[in-house]
Structure 1
Amino acid sequence: MSLRLPSEIVVEDVVPTLRALLARELADRGLTQEEVAGHLGVTQAAVSTYVSGEPELEPRIVDHPRTAATVESVATGLAGGEMDGYDALAEILELVRAFEDRGPICELHEEAMPGLEGLGCDLCVRGTNPELRTERAVLDDVREAARILATSHGVAAAIPNVGTNVGTALPDATGVADVAAVPGRIYEMGGRVEVPANPEFGASEHVATTILSAMAVDGERRGAVNLATDDALLGAAESRGLDRLEFEAGYENRGQRLTEQFEARAAVPDVLYHRGAFGIEPITYVLGETGADAARLAAELVADAAEG
């Protein structure tokens, strides 16, 4: 993974695009190329290149509605003399800061450094604080969990028709947005486990609901993965002496119902399952201290079930 600073993205992708757009807008307002060059702090040759349409512009910057509004405002101010260089710079900086806060600069930065994906570019906004390190650790755990599922023999056959997912919650999670999972779910294709995207917070409501219900009774149970309910899998769990619990399949008030069941037995099970209902596929959840722990246990149970 290449190391790129957010400032490099701004210098190499954003500033040239904004200069080109401003040059064209000012030229359209009747300014000479020499006058445009003076406003932008570039050479007349550079302005000629901008106006000719030769440079390749970054489409995510060009197509953003805030870009058009800012370029029009700055061009109007400079062309009419109501705005000087200081005022123009202030508006451009405001635009750049907005783009760094979960905007197109964030997207470009994540492409350059995939390890940032799922963090919402909070590195630019919040810096390297302990909370961000915790979030990174949670996302890394879900990546590891997905890798375990994708590389463990037999797991593809255990994925339900609706797909599977694996999640890990922040230690102080209170809602779905505090639980990281794989967007779009993990699915089976041609006998393989396919992971469509890098993990993000708030990506799976059902897995998150299960985890949050478990954490309400046992704060250490922050991970879960769902598989298709199968008697051989449940038998493998029983043979290992794992705690199992069956629950009703309906989605209505599921979180509350699960929490009440966990509280009534004063414990969170290792394996939680239902037999399905009308329009609801039978699903089994394997729980762990993290999503990676749950994925390892799930892969072991799948292997045990295959061995009979």
Structure 2
Amino acid sequence: MSLVLPGEIVVEDVLPTIRAMLARELADNGLTQQAIADHLGVTQAAVSSYLNAKPGRTGPIAGDSRTQATVERIADGLASGTMDGYDALVELLDLIEAFEDRGPICELHEDAMPALQGMSCDLCVRGIDPDLEIERETLANVRRAARLLSTDDRMASVIPNVGTNIGMALPDATTPTDVAAIPGRAHAIRGRVEIPADPEFGASKHVSTLIIAAHAIDPSIRGAINLTTEASLLSAARDRGIDPLEFDADYDDRDQRLRKRFRTRSEVPRIVYHEGAFGIEPISYVLGETAEDATQVAAELVEAANI
């Protein structure tokens, strides 16, 4: 595993880009190359190199509108004398802090250190934080569940046409952004389940709605996976002592309707399903304490149903 510090990204990627942009802006304001060099803390030869290079306006840093706005403010302030080096540094540090909060610096850091990809990392902002550890474990649990789904060929037969998602909520989840899921959903392709990307928070709407509704009634429920509604699957669930709960397929106000159904049942069953409606495919949801737990139960039911 490559080990890259966030500071390295700032030094090697962010500052050279901003210095080059500042050099051009200061030159446009009429400053000499030596005056620009004094402001930037570099040599006159470096400034000459910045000015002779082809201007770049793409990439995570140069292509971000906040970079251009900050560069223009600093250049105008230094050129007019209304801003000194301290003021310029404050502007630059504010920009870098904003970029470290799940911004372009995070994007560059993930490229340099692939182990961070899919973690929604904000280590630079919060440092070592127990909440971050919970987020990482939640993402890891969904990854393990996705691996289980993709390595069991039998599961391809119960993937809906719209695709399958696996989700897991944080312990205090209240909105879809608190639920980790697979961006773009998993699909059955040539008899196998293909996982398109690593899990992210806020990547699902329908599975998240189901999990949050269930979690509000039974806090132990944090995970779910959706499958096609199959009579043999529901029968296999009943054989295991699970009493599936049917609900209306309509999407309108689904969260509150599910909560009402759970309260009426006085429990959150491990399987809820609907038979579809106009333009809505029949879907069943297997719930569990974690995403991995729900996916394991789903795999066992598929095996028992011999689908």
TM-score normalised to structure 2 length = 0.93
- State the 1:270 CA deviation: 1.5
Contact 1:249 1:276 (8 Å CA) reproduced: yes
- State the 1:178 CA deviation: 1.5
- State the 1:57 CA deviation: 8.1
Which SS does the other structure have where 2:67 is aligned? helix
> What is the match of residue 267 of structure 1?
267
> What is the match of residue 245 of structure 1?
245
- State the 1:160 CA deviation: 0.4
Match of 1:214, as an amino acid? A
Q: Identity of counterpart residues, as a percentage?
A: 62
Contact 2:169 2:223 (8 Å CA) reproduced: yes
> What is the match of residue 26 of structure 2?
26
Once the two structures are superposed, residues 221-254 of structure 1 have per-residue CA deviations (whole angstroms, 9 ceiling, x without a partner) of 1110000111222222223332322222111222
Return the alpha-carbon distance in structure 2 between the equivalents of residues 143 and 73 of structure 1.
44
Once the two structures are superposed, residues 178-223 of structure 1 have per-residue CA deviations (whole angstroms, 9 ceiling, x without a partner) of 1111122112223221222221222212111111221222211111
Equivalences for residues 110-259 of structure 1 within 5 A: 110-259=110-259
Which SS does the other structure have where 1:60 is aligned? coil
Return the alpha-carbon distance in structure 1 between the equivalents of residues 203 and 33 of structure 2.
50
Which SS does the other structure have where 1:224 is aligned? strand
Q: Which moved more, 1:182-191 or 1:160-169?
A: 182-191
Match of 1:215, as an amino acid? H
Return the alpha-carbon distance in structure 2 between the equivalents of residues 257 and 89 of structure 1.
53
Contact 1:61 1:67 (8 Å CA) reproduced: yes
Contact 1:119 1:200 (8 Å CA) reproduced: yes
Q: Is 1:104–2:141 an aligned residue pair?
A: no
Q: Is 1:293–2:293 an aligned residue pair?
A: yes
> What is the match of residue 86 of structure 2?
86
Which SS does the other structure have where 2:30 is aligned? coil
CA RMSD of aligned residues (A): 1.9
Unaligned runs of 5+ in 1: none
Aligned length: 307
Q: Which moved more, 1:195-204 or 1:280-289?
A: 195-204
Match of 1:190, as an amino acid? R
- State the 1:119 CA deviation: 4.4
Which SS does the other structure have where 1:193 is aligned? strand
Return the alpha-carbon distance in structure 2 between the equivalents of residues 26 and 216 of structure 1.
56
TM-score normalised to structure 1 length = 0.93
- State the 1:5 CA deviation: 1.5
Unaligned runs of 5+ in 2: none
